Structure 1
Amino acid sequence: MFTITRPASNRVDISVTGPIDSATMRRALDELIAASDGVTHGQMLYTIPEMVWPSIGAIGVEFAHMPKLFGLLRSFDRCAVLSDTGWIKTIAEVEGAILPGLAIKGFTLSERAEAEVWLSGGSA
């Protein structure tokens, strides 16, 4: 399940829990694209309490949305990833190193306050 909110004009928050099938992925990506409309110099807070692998169908839906998702990346400057799964944070930071214009930093779930400071331009 994805929960996508827009708590500020330049911020989108995503939380991922539970199983992810193709219908869930389609709905989540449509919601993410809609929530990101009009965002400039945005911030994204991505919370992944536990990793649940998406179904093959969900991965197919994500690939079909890739052109829109890459375009959406230009709307955001920073993305904080909250997870207690070490490799998720590492992969997020590697993605940040290869995606131009988007800084991505991983934090543990208990470091939410530090993530918020970093998202707002501070150093954490």
Structure 2
Amino acid sequence: MFKVTLNGINRLDIELSGKLNSDEMKTALDELVSKSENIENGKMLYDIVEFYLPSFGAIGIEFSRLPSMFKLMRKFDRAAVLTDKTWIKKVSEFEGFLFPGLEIKAFNRDQKEEAEAWLES
């Protein structure tokens, strides 16, 4: 599941759980683009409940949309990632280097208040 919720005028809350197939990935990316259309200097809060690597088809969809994803990420200044998996924390923070101007910080899932405070600081 990949659920995108607009939270205020400049924040998206994204919940990710399970394994995405190609149809789910296409729908998720379309929803992400649609809901971020009017955002400037945005914030994202990712809540990764349980993560499995996406299917090969889903990865293909994601790679085919990399140029539009780079453009989309320029709308955001910060992203907080809630997860209990150490490897996801490290990968998430590394992704911050791939998107100039986007700062990504990982938190444990029980640190939602701290993550939200960091997003707004």
Normalised-by-shorter TM-score class: over 0.9
Q: Which deviates further from its counterpart, 107-116 or 94-103?
A: 94-103
Matched residue count: 121
Supply the distance in 1 between the matched residues of 2:41 and 2:55 (Cα, whole angstroms): 32
Map residues 56-75 of structure 1 onto 2, 5 A cutoff.
56-75=56-75
Supply the distance in 1 between the matched residues of 2:16 and 2:72 (Cα, whole angstroms): 19
Match of 1:84 in 2: 84
| 1:107 is the counterpart of 2:102 | no
CA spacing shift, 1:59–1:98, aligned 2, 3 Å = closer
Contact preservation (8 Å) 2:22, 2:61: yes
Supply the distance in 1 between the matched residues of 2:30 and 2:95 (Cα, whole angstroms): 22
Partner amino acid, structure 2, of 1:40: E
If the length of structure 2 is used for normalisation, what is the TM-score? 0.96
Match of 1:22 in 2: 22
Secondary structure of 1:9's aligned partner: coil
Q: CA deviation at 1:98?
A: 3.9
Contact preservation (8 Å) 2:16, 2:49: yes
Partner amino acid, structure 1, of 2:27: R
Q: CA deviation at 1:110?
A: 0.2
Residue segments in structure 2 that go unaligned for 5+ positions in a row: none
Residue segments in structure 1 that go unaligned for 5+ positions in a row: none
CA spacing shift, 1:20–1:98, aligned 2, 3 Å = closer
Match of 1:49 in 2: 49
Cα RMSD for the two superposed structures:
0.9
Supply the distance in 1 between the matched residues of 2:70 and 2:98 (Cα, whole angstroms): 13
Q: CA deviation at 1:51?
A: 1.6
Supply the distance in 1 between the matched residues of 2:9 and 2:51 (Cα, whole angstroms): 28
Q: CA deviation at 1:67?
A: 1.0
Tell me the percent identity: 48
